Every structure is written in C-alpha cells, then in structure tokens.
C-alpha cells in the first residue's frame, strides 16, 4: 500500500528537511517515528526539500508499506514518537502511481516579515525582520517582473542541484496586517534559495535602495552577484504542493490559520 502524509514542522531546530548523517533533520525525525510506530524501517519521499530554519505547514511525503492500519492510526501513532515541533496532520492511501514530488503541479511558499524598530522576540525564528519602512506599491511593481516563465539564475544558490534554472512563477501576492507583511509565491518549482533571494531584492526595493525596474535588470542579468544578499530563512514557510483534484488530497491544514 502507498500512503501519503501531510506534515507540519517548525524548522528552527533542524538542518533542513533532507536526511543527513547528524540525524538532525525533519526527514530523519519523521522516519525514526514511522519506524518506531510500524516496527520496520520506512523511507519517505517529499514534495519539496526545505533549508535549515525553514518551516513547513503542509509538507507531503509518500512511502510504501505492507502494514495495514487506519489513516488516523498512522497520524496518532507516528505523532506519539515525534518531537513537539513536528506533527503529521493527515494520512491517506493513494494509488501506486502517486508520487509526492512528481505528481505536484505547483508549489507554494509564504514569507512573513515584521516591520518594526525593535527586533522580534516571541516570534524570533518565525518571522523575518526589517526596521525601515517598506513601500508596498514599489514592491508590487518589482514583483510583477518575476511573473511568468524565466531563467532565474540570478536568484539561484551556487549549490542548487536543479537541472534547469527556467521556472514559471504563477503568482506573487503581497499583503500587510499591522506590523506584519506576508509575501505569497506559487510556481511550478523553485530553485535553491530562490525565494530568499527574491526577498532580499524585494526588501531592497521596498526600502528605496533600488527602483522597481531594477528587479528586471537583475532577472535578465542571469548572474547571482548582481542581486541582493540572500534573506534570512526565519520567516519562510513551505505551504505545500498543489496536486490535481483527482488525487483527493487536502489542500491546507489547521496550521494555515495561525499564519499572519
């Protein structure tokens, strides 16, 4: 049987998603919990790897197992062995043709940013921070240059393993609630550090350090060294993959309701 899980996590304590020898990754913690619950080793494949310090509201994984359990048992049983900052939100049997990564038609991220003269305290590690005021109209104009299919080499980390830098940005939304900004991004796929590099440039425009049209110049240059420095991972959230309706998988979890 192939099973899909929706997993949420606070990424502050972990070295990203992907398994590492240290064992201090979200994937390592999840697979250890699954093994304890099922009493057999279980390897998972995810919809999208996240970096150290990045959070996940609905990471989706799949794995194959011969163990027959009700979906709610997989949720409660696995959560019993997970640390408090990681939780399985749902479990659902899927056809063998489903693949957490390959079946996704898009991926969604959000970046939450605090604009305040004082650094975050309670929200430390869960929001990015700027102390200079941001110009929403300028950032929206700059973001428009990123929409559509482009070569995003200027926003790609040197360690990126993607086969091509060409991706399609489907949506960028910018909204403000009090002192908090929220930037939403949806694309067919993302490059390593792509959103954090977007954020560095958007903040530079929002603070008036660069004009909105500079974003297009950065994009067309296809050189990482012309863009702004990579922004902090603290406020970055993987909202989850987008699947076609026929798979019947959840599109959101309760964790969404707590995000500004």
Same domain, 81 and 111: no
pTM summary value:
0.95
Same domain, 14 and 124: no
In a domain, 260, yes or no: no
Round to whole Å and give the CA distance between 252 and 138: 30
Same domain, 91 and 111: no
Termini Cα distance of the chain? 37
In a domain, 96, yes or no: yes
- CATH value at residue 221: 3.30.70.660
Residues of the chain where predicted confidence (pLDDT) is lower than 50:
none
Q: Among the options 28, 51, 85, 144, which is catalytic?
A: 51
In a domain, 250, yes or no: no
Q: How many structural domains is the chain composed of?
A: 2
Same domain, 94 and 127: no
Q: What residues make up the domain containing 161? A: 106-237
Same domain, 200 and 118: yes
In a domain, 33, yes or no: yes
Domain boundary among 103, 135, 161: 103
Our answer to whether residue 96 is catalytic in this structure is no
In a domain, 258, yes or no: no
Give the pLDDT confidence score for residue 19 in this predicted structure: 94
pLDDT in tens, 22-44: 999 999 999 999 999 999 999 99
Domain boundary among 103, 130, 146: 103
In the chain, the DSSP E strands lie at 2-9, 45-46, 55-64, 86-94, 106-115, 128-130, 148-151, 166-177, 180-187, 236-242
Same domain, 197 and 152: yes
Give the long-range contacts of residues 91-97, CB within 8 A, separation 24 or more: 91/3, 91/4, 91/5, 91/6, 92/3, 92/4, 92/248, 92/249, 92/250, 93/1, 93/2, 93/3, 93/4, 94/2, 94/3, 94/4, 94/62, 94/247, 94/249, 95/2, 96/2, 96/64
Same domain, 150 and 199: yes
């Amino acid at each position: 049987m192939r099973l899909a899980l929706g997993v949420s996590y606070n990424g502050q304590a972990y070295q990203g998603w992907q398994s590492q020898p240290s064992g201090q990754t979200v994937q390592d913690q999840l697979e250890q919990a699954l093994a304890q619950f099922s009493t057999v080793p279980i390897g998972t494949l995810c919809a999208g790897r996240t970096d150290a310090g990045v959070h996940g509201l609905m990471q989706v994984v799949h794995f194959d197992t011969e163990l027959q359990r009700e979906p709610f048992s997989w949720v409660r049983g696995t959560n019993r062995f997970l640390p408090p900052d990681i939780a399985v939100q749902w479990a659902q049997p899927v056809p063998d043709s489903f693949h957490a990564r390959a079946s996704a038609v898009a991926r969604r991220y959000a970046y939450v940013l605090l604009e305040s003269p004082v650094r975050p305290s309670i929200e430390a590690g869960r929001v990015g921070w700027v102390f200079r005021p941001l110009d929403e109209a300028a950032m929206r104009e700059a973001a428009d240059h990123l929409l559509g299919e482009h070569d995003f080499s200027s926003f790609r980390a040197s360690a990126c393993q993607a086969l091509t830098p060409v991706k399609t940005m489907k949506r960028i939304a910018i909204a403000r609630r009090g002192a908090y900004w929220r930037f939403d991004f949806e694309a067919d796929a993302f490059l390593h550090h792509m959103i954090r590099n977007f954020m560095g440039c958007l903040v530079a425009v929002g603070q008036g350090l660069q004009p909105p049209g500079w974003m297009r110049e950065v994009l067309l240059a296809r050189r990482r060294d012309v863009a702004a420095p990579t922004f902090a991972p603290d406020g970055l959230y993987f909202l989850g993959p987008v699947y076609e309706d026929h798979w019947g998988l959840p599109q959101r979890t309760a964790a969404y309701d707590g995000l500004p």
